[in-house]
Amino acid sequence: MKQIEKRIARLIAFGESLKGAKVYYRKDWRTTYFDILGKQFGMMSPEVSEDAFITLKNTPEENEILKEAYPEMVNPGYYANKKHWNSIKLSGTELTDEEIEALIKISYTLVCKNLTKSQKLELEQLD
């Protein structure tokens, strides 16, 4: 369980390191929410448990590749569009922390691409 706790803390810190991103507990959804200018780019179990997971966006093609390559760890997105989102079990060891961080970055980038022109400008102006 200590490994899952450390992984959750690390992934939150990584999410918060992305430009303009906020990671916080969203009470109405009872989840840890990864936010960029009001848009979700991820959500994660707030409790440390064997069932904890993170849900991230990716291309439909890449999501299929991940599910096939890591069937014990990657599943269709929980409470999300199953074509565009995957849920990754945090107790799994098939994917490293660095690989999950790379998937967080991909999710963030895909969501940023869909921001409005004014939101993209706002993001550019952040330090």
Domain 2-124 CATH (choose: 3.40.50.2300, 1.10.150.120, 1.10.150.300, 3.90.1150.30): 3.90.1150.30
Whole-structure pTM value: 0.96
pLDDT attached to residue 78: 86
pLDDT attached to residue 1: 87
Alpha helices by DSSP H, listed for the chain, are 2-17, 60-69, 97-113, 117-124
The crossing angle, in degrees rounded to 10, of helices 97-113 and 2-17 is: 30
pLDDT attached to residue 13: 98
pLDDT attached to residue 79: 84
Distance CA 3, CA 18 (A): 23
Q: Quick check: 22 and 35 in contact, CB under 8 A? A: yes
Instruction: Using CA atoms of 119, 63, 23, 33 in order, give the dihedral in degrees to the nearest 10.
Output: 100
* Grouped pLDDT means (10 residues each) for the chain, 127 residues: 95 98 97 97 96 97 96 92 95 96 98 96 89
